[in-house]
Amino acid sequence: MQNSLAVFLVVSLALTSACTFDYIPAETFPRETLPLPEEIARKFEVPELGLADAEIQRLETTSAYRKFSFEIPGHDLDVKGELYQSLTGEALRKPLVIIHPILSGRYLLSRILSRWLCEEGFHALIVFREGNIMDLGVDVESWEETTVLAIRKMRAAAHVASKLDFVDENRIGAIGVSLGAIRGTIFAAVEPIVKAHVLCMPGDNVANIVSVSTEKRVRRFRENYLETRGIDVAEFHRRIDGSFTLNPGDYAKYVERERVMMVLALHDETVPVNEGFSLYDKIGHPELVAIPSGHYSAALFLPKIFPEMVRALRERLNINAEEIEPR
């Protein structure tokens, strides 16, 4: 795994050596962040939880981190994930970053980010997803319930992990990519203890995204849904729009612009970039990194933009560079 990661880094830097990204600082015009309505807050409520509710077992130790399984059984949540404890630097309590996973796969990207964060002096926590909303046979009317549960799991995990004796509970951030960034926008609106959010390739309206996305799994799901129900794309869009109320664009007014950095891929057709810019507008033009790639080819830019992600987290969590000293 370490060798393959090294190859990925070398190839990525070679392929993107002549490419650069655009950095756009956040706007400074006045923007009011609205308080979260009580009705929405109740939707995402989680029980009071402590370390006694969690099951944490060490899996692996390297020079940079300790890796643990992380579970909160029961409580109608049944959280499962992985916790990475950074061993970089001498600070007894370090910041924690919650990782919102992508749509599918075996968490490779989440684990790469977690290991890199540990090397930068951050702990990391991945909360495993609850199935795949694009599995054939899933009804779009179930997406709302699935998304609420996913965000409640994230909240519960953040609350419990914040109580660990090696975590600084006042310095918690989050990173989301693709679906993780879509859900991460909602998470940013409803979870007050998380003070920094990096949203990579999110979008505004889920019905708009899923109706035109060229991503293979999304396209297969859409075509199967149309065929088995005898409907067209317009009706497909109407059914999603009528049953799914958790569009990031509708929650943007509850998100503080100053807590957000966005990353958008300018040639993205998986989460169409126009949906990303629509969300960017609704959050009030937060700090933005724009890369000249598509959705999946954006991974080649990860070694270049990761330092920007770390900088954004440190600034928002008030972490001075001298606090992190290599071992």
Q: CB burial class (10 A; 0-12, 13-18, 19+) of residue 323?
A: middle
| Tokens at 253, concatenated | 């007014």
- Round to whole Å and give the CA distance between 269 and 247: 18
Q: Are 125 and 100 in contact (CB under 8 A)?
A: no
Secondary structure of the chain: what % helix, strand, coil (to 5)? 45, 20, 35
| Tokens at 64, concatenated | 């940079």
Q: Are 133 and 146 in contact (CB under 8 A)?
A: yes
State the pTM of this model. 0.92
CATH architecture of 32-108+121-171+181-278+310-315: 3-Layer(aba) Sandwich (3.40)
- CA angle 117–121–127, rounded 5-degree value: 45
Q: Left if phi > 0, otherwise alpha if psi is -120 to 50, otherwise beta: which for 28?
A: alpha
List per-residue pLDDT tens for the chain, 327 residues long: 444 444 444 445 444 555 689 999 999 999 999 999 999 999 999 999 999 999 999 999 999 999 999 999 988 899 999 999 999 988 889 999 999 999 988 999 999 999 999 999 999 999 999 888 999 999 999 999 999 999 999 999 999 999 999 999 999 999 999 999 999 999 999 999 999 999 999 999 999 999 999 999 999 999 999 999 999 999 999 999 999 999 999 999 999 999 999 999 999 999 999 999 999 999 999 999 999 999 999 999 999 999 999 999 999 999 976 565 544
